[in-house]
A and B are shown apart, each in its own frame.
Chain A
Amino acid sequence: MTYVTSVFVKVFGYSVARAHQLMMEVHTAGSSVVWTGDREQAEGYVLKLHGYHLLATLDPVDA
């Protein structure tokens, strides 16, 4: 398991397989939508990912 995969497992509680898939998206495409939901919760996730020194930004979902 890589560092990024392990962070996705810890922060979001994803399975290793799901986290690995997201990590590969980041690796190949440069970014990935790792979570979608309420803004407040998303802000908490962004802070947590920054705490692990991963780049993460909050983007509004297109209506």
Chain B
Amino acid sequence: MMKAIRNRQGDLRLVGMPAICADTLIKLPSWLEDSSAPVRGRLLPKGSSDPEAEAEWRRYAVAGAGTPVPVPGGDPPQGSGDPRVEWPSRLKHAHPWVHATAWLSALNGARQALFVLHELEPRDMERDLDELDGNDKDEARLRIAVLGWLQQLLIDLGS
């Protein structure tokens, strides 16, 4: 049974994470960093409806934009807590609460990236998760649901 705990410092720990949840978090950076045109287009979208203003937007706003990615693995910054998912032995994830907004953004970015990568349609998302057929689209739907569930968990813990 997964538990979400905030300690006295407000840091978040997820323990007893289901394997699909841990695996989805481990793969999250790969979706955010996907270089395909649909994903880059969705994660760095249009800023203006006016073509001239849009060109200016691309030049000045988007050119320097990066995507803040909480990276599982590697050494965490000193004193910032441990952003790693410990896999597979403990299925535990922890991050400082001050990173919650970045995590919310990253979780949403990964959902959007998966949606366009697998050419999903809004009607696909309305289908029940009990109707999984084991194909790539259904796996993406399941991972999008897992990411959404984690987002909601962070929002609920913060409110």
Contact = CB atoms under 8 A, between A and B. Distances in A.
Interface of A: 1-3, 6, 10, 43, 46-47, 50-60
B151 A55 contact: no
Interface residues of B, number: 27
10 contacts: A3-B152, A3-B155, A6-B158, A50-B45, A50-B65, A52-B108, A56-B47, A57-B45, A59-B50, A60-B50
Given A46-B47, A58-B48, A52 B105 contact: yes
B47 A3 contact: no
B47 A53 contact: no
A47 B158 CA distance: 23
A1 B159 contact: yes
Nearest to A4: B108
Given A1-B155, A3-B151, A58-B53, A43 B47 contact: yes
Given A6-B155, A10-B101, A50 B44 contact: yes
Given A56-B47, A58-B49, 17 more contacts: A1-B155, A1-B156, A2-B155, A3-B108, A6-B159, A43-B47, A46-B47, A47-B61, A50-B44, A50-B45, A50-B65, A53-B42, A53-B112, A54-B108, A58-B57, A59-B49, A60-B50
Interface of B: 42-50, 53, 57, 61, 65, 68, 101, 104-105, 108-109, 112, 148, 151-152, 155-156, 158-159
